[in-house]
Structures are given as structure tokens and as C-alpha cells.
Chains A and B, each alone.
Chain A
């Protein structure tokens, strides 16, 4: 079993809907949680970074971390066709000098 599990999708939603993405993990040492967006044939682009449990909001994006359940989420409000991409969760145990462990990515398609 992988350390970080993520539903591969694809997740298809109509424009304007809320996109809900999540990851589960098994390593309780993880404290830093990130969400990346990756367009086809491009490098991952950092969207959100959260430390430990709690919520963080940035524009249309909200990240939630529940360490007790080892579960993280990303919500995208008012989704746009330009949000169509693969979304990767990533996590690490320390602030720096530590590799990121990634989920497999969820492909999202926002239909106009």
C-alpha cells in the first residue's frame, strides 16, 4: 500500500461547481501538506501549502488538513474550464531538507 493515496479520477464537473479533492496518508510523521496543479506536459505548480491541521483559504481554493484522520482536502469554488488539470497532493515530515511524498494525482475536467 502506498504512503499517500489519491483517487485518480477523472472527476468531471460543470463550470461553476465546487471541485472536491482529497488524499489519505499512512505516515503520522507528515506535518507539511501541499497541493500542486499540473497541466498536461508541464511541471507541477504549487497551489497551497498547509502546516499541521486546520484550514487555509486562498482565493477560490481552500485546503483542509485533519491529522487525526490522516486526511487532507482541496476545494475549488466556482470552477472554471482553466481548472481542468491533474491535482497532486504532496507531504513531508519536516520543513526543509526533506523529500515530498506525492499522491498519484486526480485528473479534473471542468466542462463549460
Chain B
């Protein structure tokens, strides 16, 4: 079946601009996660959604980062007033509620110039 999809695959933006990254989880997966992967920091958790529960935002690095999940499916990660240190690969993952295995999308490579 279809895996996790993300768009765009690459995004180049100027410092100070806002960006939106999209994630489409595997059909039927109720849990959705965002991670960030950068050279110096490895793979870091950002935010987690489960059904209609309040999201776990404990990994968001600043209030410039926000995310929403509409209709329990598609999610959008928004970064406002982008900074050069935001340059990284943003990865989305989904899982069923009862199992710990998370399945990742291909990522969005964000470059802030």
C-alpha cells in the first residue's frame, strides 16, 4: 500500500519567510510524528498527534514552529520567520495507536538562505 508522503521534497526559502511542509500519513494510522534531521543534531522529535487528543509539542524548538492535523489525517508543519539554523530535513512518520513501529516519509529538505 501507499506509504507516508511528504511535500515538497525540497524547499529553498529566504531568511525571514514562512514555510509550510505537508505530510500525508499511511491510511488508517492514527498517530503522526514530525522529526527534524540535521548534521549536527541527528534525528530529533518535534511534535506528535494522536487522534483528537491534544498534540505533544514538547520537541518544538521555538514558538516559530507550529503544526496542525486536520481531520485526523494530513498534517502541516509551519515555520515562521525562518532562520538559517532551521535548514534541515523534516521527516514525518505515522504509526497505529497500539504499536511502537513508526514508518517514515521521504522528508522535506529545507534550505534557508
Contacts and interface: CB of A to CB of B under 8 A. Distances in A.
Interface of A: 32, 34, 36, 41-46, 49, 88, 90, 92, 94-105
A32 B42 contact: no
B50 A97 contact: yes
Given A102-B43, A105-B42, A95 B99 contact: yes
Interface in B35-49: 35, 42-45, 48
Contacts of B95: 96
B33 A99 contact: yes
User: Taking chain A's interface residues, is the majority helix, strand, or loop, or is none over half, making it mixed?
Assistant: loop
Given A44-B104, A46-B102, A97 B43 contact: no
Q: For the side of the interface on B, what is the size category?
A: 20 to 34
Contacts, number: 66
A101 B31 CA distance: 16
Interface in B55-113: 56, 58-59, 91, 95-107, 109
B107 A43 contact: yes
A103 B100 contact: no
Contacts of A36: 104
B106 A43 contact: yes
A99 to B, nearest CB: 4
